[in-house]
């Protein structure tokens, strides 16, 4: 639940004068996303999403994100399209923060993931990867191995407050991943955060992908590994191989996976689980006083990490 | 900031099948209101507000609120219109809670109150009172004298944690109000909570009034007293008599105030200040663990109460 910045009506009116969107009809802070302030903005021209980037997003990264959304929308991916102001620039300032208006996407994100959702995610992720192949800009993944080492160092002294032995388990996992992390898989633009709240459906059809603010250049198969973590576990911690099979099969129908990519999935999935374990652990240990956002449970991802560590081969993910 | 209940996509789809509004296009929890869960709902038929009533609203009061909005909307007041399902009933159940879909109102609520806003509020409040005169249902004001006594009793033991001497000051104020509270002023439907976030403007024009969930039957002039508190103080605590003059003048242009109503304003304003002092104090002292809503400062209303206590006559409110 977000909305950190309260935009006054006069600030908003002044901001919109730079656009050709007509007058404001309404503007409501929406309770989604925890990184930025998001508003559902209606103007005489239509319905939009207004985002103010709060301090967790590096302003230097914003041109990459904006250009990526423009590129993907132009390639037919259903994703937010940045709206340019009269001067042709989409990235602007409001209330002292970088701000952007994007097109508003129809659909609902799935609160209860069903198997058909996983097939939709696989198809959409593969289309995203294919469309991203012609995107020229690069952005390194600052939440890969080096980033995990930084987060492990920042949380190590207090990790055992959350779970006895957690610091040692993270250190051992990092030692292993340093040795076995694959480095020459096909790379390109990855979403890197395609959780259920970042993909909308209308009925059984994907209607859009949102939140490209972790997107970066990395192994494409790592994006699948993140989705295996985000979509294929049940609330009781069990892994649903039917969902994984549908997800991977739908992906491969659009973009074939090489033998090296398939073989790497268990290690990539361990990395994906460690990434969310570490960021959640960091947030858990560093809750700002008076925060209005409840941090997510890091231990959920410790359990997922352990599952992937025990995977003998990729048939565990339903790969035929 | 609210949204307490997360409505799943399948629950929402099932709920909407009872309406003739078509399929869901999107549904976003909005960060307004602290009493209920509110969603901006788009369907094939249009844009609506979906409200789930959380535990602070007494379900027995809901038929009054729903009928009042229907009555006012029918009388030409720009307020949410309850949308009836196919069976003719607007009040329904969703996720185990009473729920209603109402029309969505255009406009923005004023974050920085300017004098013209106060004139708009006065005009809109008077029109509301006039339209309410033909509404047949009654609902007692459970946040008048008897309710204040209950709240004072519930907070008395710990009030001085917030400000030394506060419990005694509240008790003394209640003693006075018991003696001087006016009992035979013109009565009718009052909004009882017409704060800036409950009235929308487009430009300088009022575009709608919302949140009728404190509405009740009480002295109409008490509604003015609540607005004097809510609209006419600056952030530094000073009273802006220009705003009060514009507010009262605009009200009287639609509905004349009797001499008794005018004379009663200072006492009514003390009561209005005490009401919000007590409810804020109660919320301050009873924050649920892990609450995502930051309670409002009760002391702001202690200062307002003291201002009204020192008012010699109604010229202090700009009444000519």
- Predicted pLDDT at A275: 98
Gap between the Cα atoms of A116 and A32, Å rounded: 24
The set of residues, in sequence order, having a beta carbon less than 8 Å from that of A73 and lying 6+ positions away, is A79, A80, A81, A103
A109/B200 CB distance under 8 A? no
B28/A32 CB distance under 8 A? yes
In percent, how much of chain B has pLDDT > 90? 88
**Lookup result for tokens 């002092």:** B277
Helix axes A241-254, A115-132, angle to 10 degrees: 30
- Predicted pLDDT at B3: 59
In percent, how much of chain B has pLDDT > 70? 97
A214 within 8 A of A143, measured Cβ to Cβ: yes
Task: For residue B40, give both structure tokens.
Answer: 């901006």
Q: Taking residues B9-36, what's their average pLDDT?
A: 90
User: pLDDT grade, residue A33 (50/70/90)?
Assistant: low
Gap between the Cα atoms of B244 and B278, Å rounded: 24
Gap between the Cα atoms of A174 and A159, Å rounded: 15
- Predicted pLDDT at B56: 80
B29/A30 CB distance under 8 A? yes
pLDDT, tens digit (0-9, with 9 covering 90-100), for A152-184: 999 999 999 999 999 999 999 999 999 999 999
Gap between the Cα atoms of A241 and B44, Å rounded: 36
User: pLDDT grade, residue B291 (50/70/90)?
Assistant: low
- Distance set, CA A45 to CA A30, A282, B245 (Å): 20, 42, 38
B8/A201 CB distance under 8 A? no
Question: Hey, is the C-beta of A29 within 8 angstroms of any chain B C-beta?
Answer: yes
Question: Hey, is the C-beta of B292 within 8 angstroms of any chain A C-beta?
Answer: yes
With CA atoms as reference, the chain A residue closest to B39 would be A30
Could you give the angle at the alpha carbon of A225 between the alpha carbons of A141 and A268, nearest 5°? Answer: 70
B26/A108 CB distance under 8 A? yes
Phi and psi torsions of A203, nearest 5° = 60, -130
With CA atoms as reference, the chain A residue closest to B27 would be A108
| Chain B residues whose beta carbon lies within 8 Å of the beta carbon of residue A284 | none
Q: How far is B17 from chain A (nearest CA, A)?
A: 14
- Predicted pLDDT at A277: 98
User: pLDDT grade, residue A55 (50/70/90)?
Assistant: confident
**What 3-state DSSP class applies to A47?**
strand
User: pLDDT grade, residue B34 (50/70/90)?
Assistant: low
pLDDT, tens digit (0-9, with 9 covering 90-100), for B100-117: 999 999 999 999 999 999
Helix ranges (H only) for chain A are: 9-16, 62-74, 115-132, 145-155, 159-162, 166-180, 220-231, 241-254, 259-285, 299-309
- DSSP assignment, residue A45? T
With CA atoms as reference, the chain B residue closest to A111 would be B8
| Alpha carbon distance, N-terminus to C-terminus of chain A | 40
- Long-range own/partner contacts, residues B56-60 (CB < 8 A, 24 or more apart): B57/B98, B57/B213, B59/B98
Across the strands, what pairs with A87?
A: none
User: pLDDT grade, residue B1 (50/70/90)?
Assistant: very low
Question: Hey, is the C-beta of B113 within 8 angstroms of any chain A C-beta?
Answer: no
A108/B23 CB distance under 8 A? no
With CA atoms as reference, the chain A residue closest to B8 would be A111
**What 3-state DSSP class applies to A28?**
strand
Q: How far is A135 from chain B (nearest CA, A)?
A: 30
Gap between the Cα atoms of B266 and A61, Å rounded: 56
With CA atoms as reference, the chain B residue closest to A105 would be B26
Burial A9-43, CB ≥16 within 10 A → b, else e:
beebeebbeebebeebbbbbbbbbbbbbbbbbbbb
ipTM of predicted assembly, 2 dp: 0.81
B292/A1 CB distance under 8 A? yes
User: pLDDT grade, residue B55 (50/70/90)?
Assistant: confident
Q: How far is A204 from chain B (nearest CA, A)?
A: 11
Could you give the angle at the alpha carbon of A276 between the alpha carbons of A272 and A281, nearest 5°? Answer: 145
pLDDT at A31 over 90: no
- CB contact residues (below 8 A), chain A span 39-58, against chain B: 40, 42, 47
- Give the nearest partner residue to A28 out of B9, B25, B40, using CB atoms: B40
Q: Taking residues B291-310, what's their average pLDDT?
A: 89
Q: What is the pTM of this model?
A: 0.87
- Distance set, CA B153 to CA B166, B168, B177, B253 (Å): 13, 11, 16, 41
- Predicted pLDDT at A36: 87
Task: For residue B244, give both structure tokens.
Answer: 């009060």
Coarse DSSP helix, strand, coil percentages of chain A, rounded to the nearest 5 percent: 45, 15, 40
- Give the nearest partner residue to B30 out of A30, A108, A290, using CB atoms: A30
Gap between the Cα atoms of A209 and B63, Å rounded: 40
Gap between the Cα atoms of A147 and A282, Å rounded: 12
Q: Taking residues A142-147, what's their average pLDDT?
A: 97
- Give the nearest partner residue to A40 out of B8, B40, B200, using CB atoms: B40
Helix axes B299-309, B259-285, angle to 10 degrees: 160
Across the strands, what pairs with A98?
A: A93
Task: For residue B253, give both structure tokens.
Answer: 């242009």
B2/A31 CB distance under 8 A? yes
pLDDT at B244 over 90: yes
A276 within 8 A of A201, measured Cβ to Cβ: no
The set of residues, in sequence order, having a beta carbon less than 8 Å from that of A193 and lying 6+ positions away, is A211, A213, A214, A215, A226
| Chain A residues whose beta carbon lies within 8 Å of the beta carbon of residue B110 | 9
Of the candidates A133, A153, A97, A81, the one whose C-alpha atom is nearest the C-alpha of residue A255 is A133
Across the strands, what pairs with B217?
A: B189
- Give the nearest partner residue to A28 out of B27, B30, B112, using CB atoms: B30
B31/A31 CB distance under 8 A? yes
Question: Hey, is the C-beta of A110 within 8 angstroms of any chain B C-beta?
Answer: yes
| Chain B residues whose beta carbon lies within 8 Å of the beta carbon of residue A29 | 1, 30-32
- Predicted pLDDT at A81: 96
Helix axes B145-155, B166-180, angle to 10 degrees: 160
pLDDT, tens digit (0-9, with 9 covering 90-100), for B162-214: 999 999 999 999 999 999 999 999 999 999 999 999 999 999 999 999 999 99
Lowest average pLDDT, out of A92-96, A289-293, A311-315, B214-218, goes to A289-293
pLDDT at B93 over 80: yes
Question: Hey, is the C-beta of B235 within 8 angstroms of any chain A C-beta?
Answer: no
B83 within 8 A of B46, measured Cβ to Cβ: no
Q: How far is B25 from chain A (nearest CA, A)?
A: 5
Q: How far is A119 from chain B (nearest CA, A)?
A: 18
pLDDT at A294 over 80: no
| Chain B residues whose beta carbon lies within 8 Å of the beta carbon of residue A110 | 9
With CA atoms as reference, the chain B residue closest to A110 would be B9
Average pLDDT, chain A: 94
B9/A111 CB distance under 8 A? yes
pLDDT at A1 over 50: no
- CB contact residues (below 8 A), chain A span 193-222, against chain B: 200-203
| Chain A residues whose beta carbon lies within 8 Å of the beta carbon of residue B6 | 111
Helix ranges (H only) for chain B are: 9-16, 62-74, 115-132, 145-155, 159-162, 166-180, 220-231, 241-254, 259-285, 299-309
Q: List the domains of chain B with CATH numbers.
A: 9-103 (3.30.200.20), 115-317 (3.90.1200.10)
- Predicted pLDDT at B57: 85
- Predicted pLDDT at B290: 60
B221 within 8 A of B265, measured Cβ to Cβ: yes
Gap between the Cα atoms of A271 and B116, Å rounded: 58
B292/A290 CB distance under 8 A? no
A43 within 8 A of A16, measured Cβ to Cβ: yes
Task: For residue A195, give both structure tokens.
Answer: 């959780």
- Predicted pLDDT at B289: 66
A3/B202 CB distance under 8 A? no
- Give the nearest partner residue to B111 out of A8, A109, A290, using CB atoms: A8
In percent, how much of chain A has pLDDT > 70? 97
- CB contact residues (below 8 A), chain A span 261-290, against chain B: 290
The number of beta carbons lying within 10 Å of the beta carbon of residue B199 is 27
pLDDT, tens digit (0-9, with 9 covering 90-100), for A218-269: 999 999 999 999 999 999 999 999 999 999 999 999 999 999 999 999 999 9
pLDDT, tens digit (0-9, with 9 covering 90-100), for A250-261: 999 999 999 999
């Amino acid at each position: 639940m977000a909305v950190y910045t309260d935009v006054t009506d006069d600030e908003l009116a002044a901001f919109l004068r730079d656009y050709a969107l007509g007058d404001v009809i309404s503007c409501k802070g929406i309770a989604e996303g925890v990184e930025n302030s998001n508003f559902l903005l209606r103007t005489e021209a239509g319905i939009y999403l207004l985002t103010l980037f709060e301090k967790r997003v590096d302003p230097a990264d914003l041109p990459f994100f904006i250009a990526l959304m423009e590129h993907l929308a132009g390639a037919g991916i259903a994703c937010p399209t940045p709206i340019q102001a009269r001067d042709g620039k989409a990235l602007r300032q409001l209330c002292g923060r970088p701000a952007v208006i994007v097109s508003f996407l129809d659909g609902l994100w799935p609160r209860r993931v069903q198997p058909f959702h996983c097939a939709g995610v696989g198809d959409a992720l593969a289309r995203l990867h294919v469309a991203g192949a012609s995107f020229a800009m690069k952005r390194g993944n600052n939440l890969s191995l080096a980033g995990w080492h930084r987060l492990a160092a920042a949380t190590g002294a207090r990790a055992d407050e959350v779970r006895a032995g957690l610091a040692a388990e993270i250190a051992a996992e990092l030692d292993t991943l340093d040795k076995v992390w694959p480095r020459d898989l096909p790379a390109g633009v990855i979403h890197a955060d395609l959780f259920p709240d970042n993909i909308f459906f209308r009925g059984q059809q994907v209607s859009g992908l949102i939140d490209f603010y972790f997107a970066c250049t990395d192994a494409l198969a790592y994006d699948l590994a993140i989705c295996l973590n985000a979509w294929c576990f049940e609330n009781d911690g069990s892994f649903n191989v039917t969902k994984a099979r549908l997800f991977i099969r739908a992906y491969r129908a659009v973009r074939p996976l090489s033998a090296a990519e398939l073989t790497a999935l268990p290690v990539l999935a361990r990395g994906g689980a460690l990434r969310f374990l570490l960021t959640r652990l960091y947030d858990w240990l560093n809750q700002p006083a008076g925060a209005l956002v409840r941090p997510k449970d890091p231990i959920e991802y410790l359990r997922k990490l352990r599952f992937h560590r025990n995977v003998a081969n990729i048939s565990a993910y339903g790969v035929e």
